Every structure is written in structure tokens, then in C-alpha cells.
Amino acid sequence: MKARGEDDIPEDAAPADAAPAAGDAGDDEDDAADTAAGDDEKQGSGDPAVYTKKEFVCDAADVTAVSLSSNDFPVRVYPSADDRIRLTYYTHPQDVYTAAVKDGVLTLTHTGRRRVRPTFSFFNSLFTLLSGKNGNVVEEIRLELPAVWAGDVSIASSNGRVAVDDLPALKAVDIRTSNSAVNLNTVSALRVRAATSNGRVTAANVQTVKELNLSSSNGHIGVSGCSAGDEAVLHTSNGSIDIKSLTAAEIDAGTNNSAIRFEDVKAGSYSFNTSNGAVSGMMPGRQEDYDIRSHTSNGRNSLPENAEGNTPLRVRTSNGAVSVTFQEQ
């Protein structure tokens, strides 16, 4: 079935910011329903920074993958109430976003240069100061997917947080952003990769058949209640790593200038590496079960530097303590 949305408006239709002509009332009800929310314009006072809100709707059966590109907009992905896919976004003549479906891929393309900012006014500045919000700043980009939809999701963003919630049947999830956070909550997928810079990455109740790969720079990584059929890779710099319940074939956690803390971990091999920070946590089983290689400088080390065993455990830091204990099962 053909997707319906702002791209289906006839070329001779009135523009979104113009009043409809008297003869335009003959459009069918479906088109009116699909475009009613899509052509609403954020209300302002003629400010050139006002964006137009759009909604693109299509049948989930027609889509095998979603690829979104955005700049300066938060992106949120969450379940839809039915079997349709809904994409809500905002566009501006100088910051153009366009949605389309081609060859089974729903895309949101961005052809603008940067977010158009509101013009200065005393009242807008006062509102921003008192409320912490900008009266002309538009909302987030929202992608609603059926809970049973099993496809790929790719998001490339900058200067905007990305959140994915409550989707249990995805295939590949690839997220890239900068200067903002990535939050994953209750997601099951074939694999998950999420990367940012100058922002934190958090994953709660995320399960993957293959890899779970989370990375940042200058940001914290937090994991709780997660599992990966293959390796779980958690890498950052100038940010701490906190692991609370993680099961994987391999666990590889690395940072610098910050600490690594872990508990309730289970894997076939372990690697915890940092510099100028401590490593602390509790391992399952007995110390004798592990093939240990550990090192620190200018800090106390609770582990032997070398010990023979079955399960690889690698712990390394500098200018920080190693405090790892074992809990016999």
C-alpha cells in the first residue's frame, strides 16, 4: 500500500502556511486524516524560525528498514498503537526534512545546513530564562513502530539525544549522534550498536542475539539487565563505566581517566581496562577458575598479576586501584 503523508500533497495544493481555497474541501477523508496533523504549523508570530510539523504514515508490511538523518533534533523511537509506522518531524524552507519509502526503506533525509534559530526578542528571551525552554523551539522527531515489527533501524544525528524504548523484535540497530545522549530501554534485537561523543550512553534491559556495542567519548556508559549472544563492547574516554547485570560471550570494557565498576556479570572472558581510574567489582565463582593477568601502577591490586585458570580475566589500570573480589556459587 502506498505511504501517505506530506509528500502526497498535490503540487497545486495550497502551501502549509496559506489558508485553503474554498474549492479544496473535496479531498477524500483519508488524505485529510493523514495530513491534518502533518500540516500543522507551530504557532508563532511570523517568526522566520517557525517550523512546520509533518506526519508520514505507512503500512509496516511495506517497510523492512528505517533510516533517519537529523541535526539539532532529539529523536525518539517507541511502539505504535497499531500496525502502521508513523514518523513525525519538522521542516523549514532553510532546514528541509523529507520522508519517503523506496525499495522497502523508510528514509528521513535532511538537506538543510543547520537548525534555524528564533529571532531575538525580549519576551522570548525572558521566557527562555524563566522556563528553560525556547518558545519557538520545535519538539522531537518521533518514530512509532509496531511492537512486532522486525526490521533494521539506523539513526544518524548530531546535537540531539536519541532514545529507543520498548521494542522487542528489531533486527539491526545502529545509532550515531554527537554532543548528546543515547538511551536504550527494553529493546531486543539481532545486534545493537550505539555511539556518541560528549554524551552518555545507557542501556537497560537490552538483549541481543549477536553483539552489543556501546561507545562514547567524554561520556558515561551505564548498563543494567542486558545480555548479548556474542561480545558486549563498552568503550569510552573521560567517562566512567557502570555495569549492573550483564551476560555475554565476552565482556570488553575500556575507558581512561575514569573508573570501571561492575557487578552481576557472566561471560566466557573478561577485559576491564582504564587509566587514571580504579577498577572494582565482583566476579562469579572462585578466583581459581580464572586465567588472570592484572596490572596497576600507583595503586593497590587485589588480584595476582599472573594466575592460571580456565576463564580469561584481564584487568589493567594506572594511577588507580584494582579491587576485584570473587563470589563462590
Say whether both 63 and 115 belong to one domain: yes
- Note down the domain range covering 96: 1-174
Say whether both 129 and 239 belong to one domain: no
Say whether both 4 and 138 belong to one domain: yes
Alpha carbon separation from 144 to 41, 167, 182, 202, 291 (Å, rounded)? 21, 10, 17, 21, 47
**What mean pLDDT do residues 142-162 have?**
96
Average pLDDT, the chain: 84
How much of the chain exceeds pLDDT 90, in percent?
72
Say whether both 9 and 146 belong to one domain: yes
Alpha-carbon span 223 to 185, nearest angstrom = 10
Alpha-carbon span 244 to 206, nearest angstrom = 12
Say whether both 124 and 269 belong to one domain: no
Say whether both 188 and 297 belong to one domain: yes
**What mean pLDDT do residues 146-156 have?**
97
First CA to last CA distance, the chain: 56
- Our count of domains for the chain comes to 2
* 73-132 confidence digits (pLDDT tens): 999 999 999 999 999 999 988 889 999 999 999 999 998 665 665 544 444 444 444 444
Say whether both 42 and 168 belong to one domain: yes
| Residue corresponding to grid cell 545493537 | 192
Predicted model pTM: 0.81
pLDDT at 5: 56
Residue 149: CB atoms within 10 Å: 23
* 162-196 confidence digits (pLDDT tens): 999 999 999 999 999 999 999 999 999 999 999 99
| Strand 241-254 versus strand 212-215 pairing type | unpaired
